[in-house]
Amino acid sequence: MTGTRVAIVTGGSRGIGAAVVRKLAQQGYDVVVNYAGNAEAAEKAVAAATGAGARTIAVAADVADETAVERLFDAAQDAFGGVDVVVHAAGRMVLAPIAELDLSDLDALHRTNIRGTFVVAQQAARRVRAGGAIVTFSTSVVGLQLPTYGAYVASKAAVEGITMVLARELRGRDITVNAVAPGPTATALFLDGKDEATVERMAKQPPLERLGRPEDIAETVAFLAGPGGRWVNGQVLRANGGIV
């Protein structure tokens, strides 16, 4: 398609989401930065994208609230004329053994990760233009099945299922739908609550022997969203440095 492409990035105010915002801005997209509550972080993401030459706005929305998400897509339409790429990076993580997990934490995690993905996917399916792309976020822990990740893995396995079904439902629309499943990545979400020994051990898991960087994941997302990724559809891309 011709003209400037428009991207919505949920969870775009920090971590991997903010890196995706910067990368897409550098590639010439107009970008809508969605955030949950940290307006200051969102404005920093907007400033970084604007500095890269992109037209950028920030829009607050709870991704699990269908009315708020509809307004988010309306804002993209009003500001930039449409939506070509949706990157759903917003998410929540709670770690605890299954036997000990507080079920209120389970409900909150699943509201954001499962319902949030479904709500964003629903609007994306209705709004993304032909030639566009939808990218969701899973985790490589779905395959690794590490202790204490039970609730998180359950939610992200659901994300993978939603994503694969949506790819098939959009047959004939010329829209790709894929999930990115990062391995250990040096973000605040990952590092929170982990001691130095745990971080070091997890950094040694991939053959490349380091943690992923948000920029590594952003490059993967940009590939799936761009012209080079048009023949990749209905896949889970495990961006984890080679962990199996």
For the annotated catalytic residues, the residue numbers are 152
Close Cβ partners of 238 (under 8 Å, ≥ 6 residues apart):
140, 143, 181, 183
Are the C-beta atoms of residues 73 and 83 closer than 8 Å to each other? Answer: yes
Please name the residue that has the structure tokens 């010439």.
28
DSSP character at residue 113: I
Tokens of 84: 């070509």
Q: In what order do the strands lie in the sheet with 176-180?
A: 56-60, 30-35, 6-10, 83-88, 128-137, 176-180, 236-237
